[in-house]
Amino acid sequence: MTIEPMVDSNEPPVLALSGVCKRFPGMTVLQGVGFTLRRGEVTALIGENGAGKSTLVKILTGIYGLDEGEICVGGQSVHFASARAAWAAGITAIHQEPVMFDELSVAENVFMGHMSVTGAGLVDWRGMQDRTNEILHLLEAGFSATTPLKLLGVAEKHLVEIARALSHDSRVVIMDEPTAALSTREVDDLIRIVGRLKAQGRAILFISHKFEEIFRIADRWVCLRDGRQVGSGAIADVTSADLVKLMVGRSIGNVFPTRETAVGEPTLQVDGLSNATEFADLSFVLHKGEILGLYGLVGSGRSEALQALFGLSRPTRGVIRIDGKVVAIHSPADAIAAGLAYVPEDRQTQGAVLAFSIVENVTLASLRRHSSGAFLMRDRETATARSVAERFAVKARNLDQALGDLSGGNQQKVVIGKWIATNPRILILDEPTKGIDIGSKAAVHAFMAELTAAGVAIILISSELPEVMGMSDSILVMHEGRVVRRLTRAEATPELIVTAAAGTLESNVA
């Protein structure tokens, strides 16, 4: 780093956490987290999905309260009752998915909640726009304060969020995976901006999965695993291998079930699947009993491509063959009839009907099979649900319990069970273990092995490296809507996959 801010070691840390605990019904998501942020330092917060990073961000920004522990700002113990209180203490966050007002201008998005007024009590548009333009100029943004937000892309919206943080003159800026949806060039720009914030003496908490960035920008690191802090220190003292080991907490080989990779004949052949803006030329062959891993960063087009395959959107081009025959899939119903099943990434909004009971959720995708004529057969439904609950060891009081009352892991087991009830031949799992506890995770992995042994073919979409590497027979890596790398289980190394996914490897293998 060329810029060395003045750091007075006697000065109290800008932000200090100690013993922070947070519980949700049925799950402890954070326990004993404690670290400090100092002026002019970037601290990288690392950890797998579900390790508790997002929860920590919500606590620091006043969205959640904490159950135990203490937060000190500038040496003073604080308690944030609201988002406003966190701002007032000088903490702002830049969220992974920008939460903003599409219909309003950039200036308003920056100043919403703390607009300045003139002497007459009216909004000081002039001043607000000038101030916003100043900040935007500082950020080298290619748009102005008066631009409507809805015309901006994701990267530009991130700049607006950063501008918002600067408008508060925040002492602490939290960046929650700000680079997840950015291209390489945009990431470079962002890193330059972070450097500038650092030089201004702000403390930055930088959350990222990308080690390359972390090593470029961070001074210190904190690692979370399953809600616990498993380490922290200076970035100069570690290697990325050390961090991976800490994050995962185990060597990859022994936590995943060993599978006989007896790959059968081809069952699904996809050829040149494309749509206009999200993905292009997706081609692969999936065999019976095979697990095909699909790795890519959030926003790389992997979910969009497979949702098109499942009939949720219309691809513009491409041929789908199942067992050699071309099939036309125009709706999820067609896909289910063709033997496909898709467990979506977002359990709460796409997978589960939270107000429905376990029974009602399990049979939702196979209602016809559970009725006689139009009439639902409750006995048949209960039998299916019971077998799912037993097979997955779903923890619930009874089968009539609403899904919303179960823990995330158990909800996910029921959602997967819903698809098993359709007797699929091809199962697409989109981030099946995101945000669930280790026990449920292992159950899902064991179940995948069991299915493939029975000849079911699985496509596993995951941004969790150990999972993709531990479970897949072959791996496709996507970047910006295209497959940029194809690897067999033997060839795959974390470095190869990560570099391909980050787009740093420009050679297009597809």
Partner 1 sequence: MNGSSILKRREASLALIIVMVMAAVGVRAPIFLAPATQLNVLIDTSILFMLVLGQTVVLLTRGIDLSVAANLALTGMIVGLVARAAPGLPIAAVIGLAIAVGLVLGLINGFLVAVVGIPPIVATLGTLAIYRGTIFILDGGAWLTQADMSKAFLHFPNATLLGLPHMVWLAIVVSIAMWVFLNFTRRGRMLYAVGGNPVAARYCGIDLARQQLLVYAISGMIAGLCGYLWVSRYGIAYVELASGYEMTVIAACVIGGVSFSGGIGTVPGALLGGLFLGIIANALPVIGVSPFWQMAISGFVILTAVIVNARTDKPASKIILSEAKRAAVGPR
Partner 2 sequence: MSQFSSSPESGAVHAGAATRLRGLLLRWETALVLLLAAAIAVNSVISPYFLDIYNLSDATTNFSEQAIVALPMTLLILVGEIDLSVAAIIAVVSLAIGVCSDQGMAPYGLMLVGLAVGALCGAFNGALVAGLRLPSIVVTIGTMSLFRGIAQVALGDQAITNYAPEFQSFGQGYVVSWPPVPNSFALFLGLALVFGVVLHRTRYGRALYAIGNNAVAARFSGLNVARTRFVLFVMSGLLCGLASVLLTARIGSTRPNIATGWELSIVTMVVLGGVSFEGGKGTIPGVVLAIFILGTITWGLSLVNFAGIEISVVIGAILIVTIAAPLVLKRLARRFASGSS
Write out the residues near partner 1 by the rule CB under 8 A: 61, 63, 82-84, 87, 99-105, 107-108, 112-113, 115, 117, 121-123, 125, 146, 148, 150-151, 153, 183, 276-280, 299-301, 304, 480-482
Task: Please choose, out of 43-51, 201-209, 297-305, 327-335, the segment that lies near partner 2 by the rule CB under 8 A.
Answer: 327-335
Q: What is the DSSP letter of 433?
A: T
At 117, which amino acid appears? V
Site for partner 2 in 349-408 (CB under 8 A): 349-356, 360, 364-365, 367-368, 370-371, 374-376, 395, 397, 401-402, 404-407
Nearer to partner 2, 353 or 449 (CB): 353
Q: Taking the complex as a whole, how short is the minimal distance between the CB of residue 355 and partner 2, in angstroms? A: 5
Among 41, 177, 437, 473, contact with partner 2 (rule: CB under 8 A) = 437
Q: Taking the complex as a whole, how short is the minimal distance between the CB of residue 411 and partner 2, in angstroms? A: 10
Distance CA 361, CA 385 (A): 9
Residues 6+ positions from 270 with CB-CB distance below 8 Å? 282, 283, 284, 285, 286, 309, 318, 319, 320, 321
Distance CA 142, CA 251 (A): 45
Say if CB 233 and CB 227 are below 8 A apart: no
**What would you report as the CA-atom Rg of the chain, rounded to the nearest whole angstrom?**
24
Nearer to partner 1, 59 or 492 (CB): 59
Q: Decide: is 410 part of the binding site for partner 2 (CB under 8 A).
A: yes
Q: String of b and e for 115-138 (b: at least 16 CB within 10 Å)?
A: eeeeeeeeebbeebbebbbebbee
Say if CB 71 and CB 13 are below 8 A apart: no
Q: Taking the complex as a whole, how short is the minimal distance between the CB of residue 132 and partner 1, in angstroms? A: 12
At 332, which amino acid appears? P
Which partner from the list partner 2, partner 1, none does 101 bind, CB cut-off 5 to 8 Å by kind? partner 1
Which partner from the list partner 2, partner 1, none does 24 bind, CB cut-off 5 to 8 Å by kind? partner 2
Packed helices 154-167 and 184-199: angle between N→C axes, nearest 10 degrees: 10
Distance CA 144, CA 496 (A): 39
Among 342, 389, 443, 463, contact with partner 2 (rule: CB under 8 A) = 342
Q: Decide: is 299 part of the binding site for partner 2 (CB under 8 A).
A: no
Nearer to partner 2, 161 or 360 (CB): 360
Q: Taking the complex as a whole, how short is the minimal distance between the CB of residue 99 and partner 2, in angstroms? A: 19
Say if CB 267 and CB 287 are below 8 A apart: yes
Nearer to partner 1, 279 or 392 (CB): 279
Site for partner 2 in 440-459 (CB under 8 A): 440
Q: Taking the complex as a whole, how short is the minimal distance between the CB of residue 179 and partner 1, in angstroms? A: 15
Which partner from the list partner 2, partner 1, none does 367 bind, CB cut-off 5 to 8 Å by kind? partner 2
Distance CA 281, CA 375 (A): 44
- Region class of 332: left (phi > 0), else alpha (psi between -120 and 50), else beta: alpha
Phi first, then psi: give them for residue 248, nearest 5 degrees.
-80, -35
Distance CA 501, CA 107 (A): 34
Nearer to partner 1, 108 or 219 (CB): 108
Which partner from the list partner 2, partner 1, none does 376 bind, CB cut-off 5 to 8 Å by kind? partner 2
Say if CB 208 and CB 130 are below 8 A apart: no
Say if CB 295 and CB 462 are below 8 A apart: yes
Residues 6+ positions from 251 with CB-CB distance below 8 Å? 245
What string marks each residue from 9 to 28 as x (binds partner 2 by CB under 8 A) or -?
--------------xxxxxx
Which partner from the list partner 2, partner 1, none does 440 bind, CB cut-off 5 to 8 Å by kind? partner 2
Which partner from the list partner 2, partner 1, none does 438 bind, CB cut-off 5 to 8 Å by kind? partner 2
Sign of CA dihedral 132, 133, 139, 143: positive
Place of tokens 């004529």: 373
Which partner from the list partner 2, partner 1, none does 38 bind, CB cut-off 5 to 8 Å by kind? none
Place of tokens 């125009």: 330
Nearer to partner 1, 298 or 364 (CB): 298
Q: Taking the complex as a whole, how short is the minimal distance between the CB of residue 471 and partner 2, in angstroms? A: 21
Nearer to partner 1, 125 or 284 (CB): 125
Q: Decide: is 240 part of the binding site for partner 2 (CB under 8 A).
A: no
Q: Which of 38, 11, 15 is nearest to 198 (CA)?
A: 38
Distance CA 117, CA 152 (A): 27
Q: Taking the complex as a whole, how short is the minimal distance between the CB of residue 229 and partner 1, in angstroms? A: 26
Q: Taking the complex as a whole, how short is the minimal distance between the CB of residue 356 and partner 2, in angstroms? A: 7
Q: Which residues here bind partner 2, judged by CB under 8 A?
A: 23-28, 312, 331-333, 335-336, 342, 344, 349-356, 360, 364-365, 367-368, 370-371, 374-376, 395, 397, 401-402, 404-407, 409-410, 418, 437-440
